[in-house]
Chains A and B, each alone.
Chain A
Amino acid sequence: MAEVVEELRALARDLLTKGAVQVFVGYGEGSVPGRTAPTIITTAGRAGELVWNKHCLNNLAVYLTRNEVTKRGRVGLVVKGCDARAVTGLLQEGQATREKVVIIGMACDGMGEPLLEMCKHCDAHMPAGPGADAHHLACDYIIGKATAPDVAPEDGGACYADVAKIEALPPAERWAFWQEQFGRCVKCYACRQVCPLCYCKRCLAEKNEPQWLMSSAHAAGNFAWHVARAMHLAGRCVGCGACERACPQHIPLSLLSKKMAKAVLQHFKYRAGCDPAATPAVKTFDPSDKNDFFR
Chain B
Amino acid sequence: METNTQSEQAVWQPKVIAFVCNWCTYAGADLAGTSRLKYDANIRVLRLPCTGRIDPLFIIKAFERGADGVLVSGCHPGDCHYNTGNYHARRRWTLFRELLEFVGIDLQRVQFAWISAAEGAKWAEVVNAMVAHVREIGPFEGYQIMLARSGQAAFQQMVGAKGGNGSGKGVPGALPVGRSGAE
Contacts and interface: CB of A to CB of B under 8 A. Distances in A.
Contacts of A289: 87, 90-91, 94
A204 B142 CA distance: 24
A200 interface: no
A285 B95 CA distance: 13
Nearest to A174: B104
A174 B101 CA distance: 9
A227 B56 contact: yes
Interface residues of B, number: 43
Contacts of B97: 293
A220 B155 contact: yes
A291 B77 contact: yes
DSSP majority for the A interface?
helix
A290 to B, nearest CB: 5
Given A227-B60, A294-B114, A263 B149 contact: no
A267 B93 CA distance: 12
Contact of B95 (A163, A210, A234): A234
A36 B98 CA distance: 36
A89 B88 CA distance: 19
Given A231-B99, A264-B95, A290-B94, A214 B104 contact: no
A263 B103 CA distance: 14
A214 B56 contact: no
A267 B102 contact: no
B182 interface: no
Nearest to B115: A295
A198 B86 CA distance: 25
Interface string B62-104: 0010000000000001100000100110111111111101111
Contacts of A290: 90, 94
A228 interface: yes
13 contacts: A167-B102, A172-B104, A174-B104, A175-B104, A177-B104, A218-B155, A223-B146, A230-B99, A234-B95, A235-B95, A256-B99, A287-B87, A289-B94
